[in-house]
Structure formats: structure tokens, C-alpha cells
Amino acid sequence: MIVYKIIDSVMKYRFGNPVSTDAVVFKGNEINKEKLQYFTVENQQFLKLKYKMHKNDIVLGLGENLKGINKRGGVFESYCSDDADHTPDKKSLYGAHNFLVINGVEKFGIFIDYPGRVLFDIGFTHKDELEITINDKNLDIYIINGKSLRDIINRFLKIIGKSYVPPKWAFGFQQSRWSYQDAKKVEEIANNLIKNDIPCDSIYLDIDYMEDFKDFTISKKRFPNFKSFVKKMKDKGFRLIPIIDAGVKIEDDYEIYKEGIENGYFCVDEEGNPFIAAVWPGKVHFPDFLNKEARRWFGLKYKKLIDLGIDGFWNDMNEPAIFYTERGLKEAVDLAKESKNKNLNIHSFFNLKDSFENLSNNTEDYKSFYHNIDGELVNHDRVHNLYGYNMTRAAAEGFKEIEPNKRFLIFSRASYIGMHRYGGIWTGDNHSWWEHILLNIKMMPSLNMCGFLYSGADTGGFSSDANAELIIRWTQFSLFTPLFRNHSAMGTRNQEPYAFDTESTDTLRNTIRLRYSLIPYIYSEYMKAVKNHDIYFAPLSFEYDDKYSRYVEDQLLVGDSLMVTPIYKENAIGRYIWMPEEMLLWKASDYNYRDYDVINKGHQYIDININEIPIFIRKNKILVLGSHANNIEKLDNTQLNVIAFVDNKATYTYYDDDGITYDFDKGIYSEIVIDIEKIDDDYRININNKGNKHVKKLNFEIIDLRGNIIKKSLIINRVEKGDIK
Ligand code: GLC
């Protein structure tokens, strides 16, 4: 084992000779140490790490996974999986995010930088033991120390590098379904959104826009004049976001296939022939995204669609998902033939059934193909979790070459730590189940801790049928998630915001409008999280150390100022809330109508009607609120409402930039720093305007702990810097 100091309080322990994942962007210096901090290491067939948890320790992290924010009691396996049934017993979803934080007697983070199978047994087998088993002996382990949870997370996020930043329009509402299958249907969706006055920034194109599910092609029949159609939709206010799948159809005259074969850009089987699996188009090859040249080749293909006016994509089926291979199919069919006319008992019948059920995403298949990593053939199973990551990296690196200073929307289904530098993720094929709203709530802070800031779930649920109440409640939570997209599967009930009754459409319109009026806050908090290696969604335990806050699983802190307490139960008329301190409650039903209640510390029950979104402003914190428009580009935030809940002093930094380029990286952005201080019965407001030319007026509503409101307005372009009283 070689040990490196990466940055202050972060150590890297190198075992054997690992494959480089590029998850961590810092190199570090070699130092002398004999033992892995906190853990005992068993180095037998596999590497096994053990940590004795203390009674009240909580364990956070693991990104995209089932179970709670506190992962204690669970067992999880990092192995990117295309599994559409996110039931509580599942160990793996689409992402592999091997980062945990222990918050208890000892506080530290651990990142297992290994891209194959890793098992995390967090007190499942033995209630006080954390046991991590790695299917290899070549890997890097990082231990991150810090005084607080925030410290640990900031350091971890620093070593894995800054998050991807999407264009600002990607913070708008987005409408999707598998599938809006042709131009006529897409236009109908756009017109319905317009007719119902529902703000929306983009409409998604699922697999049916392609010719026979071939990447970078467009069906001439279903989208005859694609380029002019894209423009027409943009003129109406909607961007179109096509899907790109990992598998490349095997078809002689298909350009991508031909080039991939000619240049050896596909993954190969044991004999060195391009590996064959079947997905949407039937038989495909998988581009070898772990091979730099192949990655560049595929990444530049996005230009085909960019040239037609496309500004955003979603990368799918990149675990990679496999429906079947010839090997698996043959075995199953042979067994079926053998079984014919036999008297199958419990064992032989289930064996036969399993052989078909296990055709998809089978480990044997993942073990039977190879990548060319810098000239070395590496078995896929060892680097499985890097595949989706590198597909999305291909796209992002392509965009950088194609239009270096333009931000594109890109997010992926499969991912590994480090991919957050290239794109966001969505949380895959959930269901229209109330349980999945709660799962969505719990997953968001866990994903943020692993770097994934631009993320969100299929709002309303992908599989199964949703009713109006579920869509409303889910939308009321998703309006806080950076990626805010309603998506559903083929064959399910339509769930667009106008698909139900008029009353529900009215509620959803107001809910989505609220999202648009929250953009000044959401975007500021997102961008500050990026800049400061911080998170956007945090569990209560990040700010409040009391005994209850540590265990709260269904309330989140959003940015610096807000706590949200979503409703995720059917027929609920309110909910119980743990108030770690007094806060100001705004039950938002219409962005334009505000009244407030001060809610005291303690356990509280709050009534919440179907059209209300409970938003809590924390003590001595500030919310900036703009107005709404039907898409992000139309937002006119020359006036902002500043809602402050002030005991003695509150500060807020409102961030803004051009929303479309990377100029912010060169320091081209603006900030308005707002300070409010209580002096006797009045407030002193101090504004420091650092370059914002857009906002002209701030309308203050300052509320004290007794609920008294003072309103003031401030013309900002005259006060570049100064006090008013
Ligand atoms: C996968 C994706 C889903 C998409 C479908 C068809 O199931 O996760 O979002 O709609 O494929 O492309």
C-alpha cells in the first residue's frame, strides 16, 4: 500500500495497480503510513474493510440508492444496473457512488475508487459493523477527515472537481414521455402547454425520433423537416431534447456502425471480434467509451444533431443495458427444448423460468467483453461502472470541441463518481408510487454528497399510472430539484400537467410558475454550490445537531435559506414536521400571494392543502423571489422580492450570470450581497452590488420572530454600494 496526501485532511491509499477512473482530479504527494485510518483491512481473496460503528452513528452518502438518507441497516452493491423495479430490497440502481460519510463518535468520509463490484454492508449482517467488500485488490481508497459534515463534503467535492453547469434554461420545467413519437405529437404537446398557460422550456424526444433506433439518425417519416421543426419549436419557446442510447445498431450501411468497425471503436469479445448484444434496435455493438479515440469519435457525432439546432441530450441505456446475447438466448432455448414434454418440478420449472428472466443484464455477459484502455485489454466486469460515465464524458468532451464556450444540457442514466464534472443524472425508471416520491426526497442529498448537483427524478413516476394528486404532490417537490422533468413510460396514463381536471391543471400551473419565480434563488444556490464545492440539498443534520434532526428523512434543506417538507402521502391534509428552530412558513399556492406564519421549534403538525407548498425560511436567512414567465429566457427579474426572516442579522448573496456560456469560469458573473440588520424596531439594509446591471429594484419583506412585517423598496441601480435605513 502506498499512501498519498491529496489535500489537507484527505489521504489516498493505493492498493496494487488500479485502473485509472479519473474520479479524483488531485494527484497528491507520497507519505509514510502503515495503516488505513479507521478501518481494519482483510486482504484475502478480496479486500475487505471493517469499521465498528458506534451506537448512534449515522451513515450518509452512496448517492443513487434505495433506503434512507441514513444508510445504516442496509446492504448495497455498486454495480450500475438497468433495473426498473426500485423496490426496497434492491441493492443496486443505475449509478455507482462509492462514497460514505460516518457521522457519529468519529466523523469522516471514505471513497472506494474501484469501478467494478463493491458491496457495502452497513450493519445489515452485524448491526454495528460496516463492512466493505471489493471484488479486487487493485484500487484506491480515500479517507476524508473534517470537523463537520460540511467540511468533509467540501473536501471530497474539491478532490473530485467542480460540478457540471447546465444552461440556465435547463432549470425550467421540462416535459417528456416515451414517446412523443412524431412532429405532430410534439407540436400538439407544445400547443397544449401554451393553451393551458403552463411554463415549460423543453420537450423530450424519446427513442422513436430515430430511424430504427439508430443513434444520430432522425426518422424521415416521423420528423420530415427536422431542422425547421426544431426551429419552429424554439420559436414557440421549446427546446427539443433527443435521447442517445449506448448501443450502435449492426447494419451494413449505417455510418456509425461502419466507422466503428473500421476503426476498432467497439468493445470486443474473447476472440477480439466486436461484442454483440441486443437492445432496442436488435443486435448492437457497444462503443468503447473507455478508449480515448473511440470516446472522441462518438462525442463528435453529437454535432450531427447540434447542427440541426439541438442544445441538449440525455444519454440512456449506458450501464450498458443488455436485453439478451446469443449465449444467454441459446442456453435458455436449449433448456426450454430439453424441458418440453418433461414433468417439471419446483426446481426444474424455476430453473427454466429463471433462464429466460436472467437473459437481460446478465453478469456472464458483462464478463465476456473487453475494453481497450491505453492499449491494454481490460475485462468489462472490472470497469463496469465506468461505462455510462465515459459515454457522458464523450458527449461533454465533444461539446467542448464543437462549441467550446456554449453550455449544453446533458444528463445520463448510469454514472460513477467523477461523472458529475461532465453532466447530470436522472434517477431512472421509477414508478408512479407514493413511495417513490419519498425515495426521490431521500436520494437528492445523497446524490449531492457524491457530486451530482444537476439531478432529479421522473416527476410523476415513469412506470404505472398516476392520478392527479400524485402528480401534484410530486411536482410540488420536484420544483426544487435542479432537473425538473415530467416523464412517463409507454402504455401508462398520460400525466402532463394539463392531463387531468381543470382544478388540477390550475394547481399545477401555479406550482410550475412558482418554480420559475424561484429561479433567482435556485440558480444562485446551484451556482454557489458549484463554486464552493458544496451541496444544494442537505439533510437537516448538516445544520442542526440535535437528536431529532439527525434522523429526519423527509425534510430537506434547499440551499442556504430554505427547508422543505414535501407531502408524499395520498389523501394527506397536512403532515408532522420536526422544527429544529423557529422558522417562517409560507404555504405557497400562488407565487404572487404571500402570507406567513412563524412556526416554533419542536414537533409540529401543519395543515397543507392540495394546492399548497410548504416553504420554510430559516431564521436569519433570506429568500429572493422573482416573477414567472412561460420560459426561462422570458423571465424579467428586474425587480426581486427579498423575503427575510430576521432575528438580528441576515445575509444573502444573489448570484447571476449570462446562463449560456462558461464565462463565469473567467470570473464574469455578478453578485448582489444583501445584509439586513435589526436595529431597535427597524432594519438597516446594506447592498453591495458587484456588477449586476439587470436587477433595478429590490422589494423587501422583513419579518421578525413575532411575525411582524416591514416592507421597504430599494432602487438598486442608484445604490451601487451603501446603507439605507
Ligand atoms: C429507458 C429509460 C426511459 C426511456 C426508455 C425508452 O427505460 O430509462 O427513460 O423512456 O428507456 O427510451
Question: Is residue 319 flagged as an active site residue?
Answer: yes
Residue 83 beta carbon below 6 angstroms from any ligand 1 atom = no
User: pLDDT at position 716, please?
Assistant: 82
CATH topology of domain 526-724: Immunoglobulin-like (2.60.40)
Instruction: Specify whether the CB–CB gap between 262 and 297 falls below 8 A.
Output: no
Report whether 712 contacts 675 (CB < 8 A): no
425 lines ligand 1 (CB under 6 A): no
CA of 259 from ligand 1 middle (Å) equals 26
For residues 415 and 424, what is the distance between their CA atoms, to the nearest angstrom?
9
**Model pLDDT for residues 25-73, shown as the tens digit of each residue:** 999 999 998 899 999 999 888 899 999 999 999 999 999 999 999 999 9
Q: What atom of ligand 1 comes closest to residue 84's alpha carbon?
A: 7
719 pLDDT higher than 70: no
Quick one: which H or E segment has residue 152?
A: helix 149-160
Beta strand extents in 58-210 (DSSP E only): 58-61, 75-78, 95-96, 99-103, 107-113, 118-122, 129-134, 139-145, 173-175, 202-205
Structure letter (DSSP) for residue 495 = -
**Beta-bridge mates of residue 558:** 537, 562
Average pLDDT for residues 291-316, to the nearest whole number? 98
Question: Looking at residue 45, what is its pLDDT?
Answer: 84
- Phi first, then psi: what are they for 707, rounded to 5°? 90, 5
Helix axes 468-478, 502-517, angle to 10 degrees: 0
The answer to pTM > 0.85 is yes
Longest dimension (CA), the chain: 91
Report DSSP letters for 382-398, one per residue. Answer: HHGGGHHHHHHHHHHHH
Inter-helix orientation angle 183-195/226-236, to 10°? 0
Stretch 144-151: mean pLDDT:
97
What whole-number distance in Å separates Cα of residue 382 and Cα of residue 600? 52
The pLDDT tens digits of the residues spanning 590-646 come to: 878 899 999 999 999 999 999 999 999 999 999 999 999 999 999 999 999 999 999
CB atoms within 10 A of CB 17: 8
Question: Chain-wide mean pLDDT for the chain?
Answer: 97
Residue 350 Cα to ligand 1 middle (Å): 29
Q: What percent of the chain has pLDDT over 90?
A: 97
Residue 717 confidence (pLDDT) above 70: no
Asked if the model's pLDDT at residue 723 lies above 60, the reply is no
Domains 2-160 and 526-724 belong to one CATH topology: yes
- Catalytic, 316? Answer yes
Task: Write out the E strands in 199-344.
Answer: 202-205, 239-245, 248-249, 277-279, 282-285, 312-316
* CA-based nearest residue to 584, from 688, 720, 709, 482: 709
Which of 245, 425, 432, 462 most suits a substitution to test ligand 1, by most atoms within 8 Å of the C-beta?
462
What's the confidence (pLDDT) of residue 475? Answer: 98
Q: Beta strand 424-426 with 409-412: parallel, antiparallel or unpaired?
A: parallel
Query: For 60, left (φ over 0), alpha (ψ -120 to 50), or beta?
Result: beta
Give residue limits of the domains in the chain: 2-160, 526-724
Which pLDDT does position 664 carry in this prediction?
98
Q: Which three cell numbers stand for residue 138?
A: 487493485
Once rounded to an integer, what is the mean pLDDT over residues 439-465? 98
Cβ–ligand 1 distance for 208 under 6 Å, the answer: no
Is the minimum distance from the CB of 243 to ligand 1 under 6 angstroms?
A: yes
Candidate of 205, 415, 429, 464 to mutate for ligand 1, largest count of ligand atoms within 8 Å of Cβ: 429
pLDDT tens across 527-583, in order? 999 999 999 999 999 999 999 999 999 999 999 999 999 999 999 999 999 999 999
Instruction: Tell me if residue 429 is catalytic.
Output: yes
* Model confidence band, residue 102 (pLDDT cutoffs 50, 70, 90): very high
Q: Which of 258, 222, 255, 252 is nearest to 240 (CA)?
A: 222
Query: 201 in ligand 1 pocket by Cβ < 6 Å?
Result: no
Three-state SS for 194-226 is HHCCCCCCEEEECHHHCCCCCCCCCCCCCCCCH
Annotated catalytic residue: which of 64, 113, 131, 319? 319
Examine the pLDDT at 206 and tell me if it is beyond 90. Answer: yes
pLDDT, average across residues 97-106: 97
Give me the catalytic one of 208, 311, 316, 560.
316
Cα distances from 203 to residues 75, 258, 495, 634, in angstroms, run: 37, 31, 14, 17
Fold of the domain built from segment(s) 2-160: Immunoglobulin-like (2.60.40)
pLDDT of residue 724: 41
Residue 350 is classified by DSSP as H
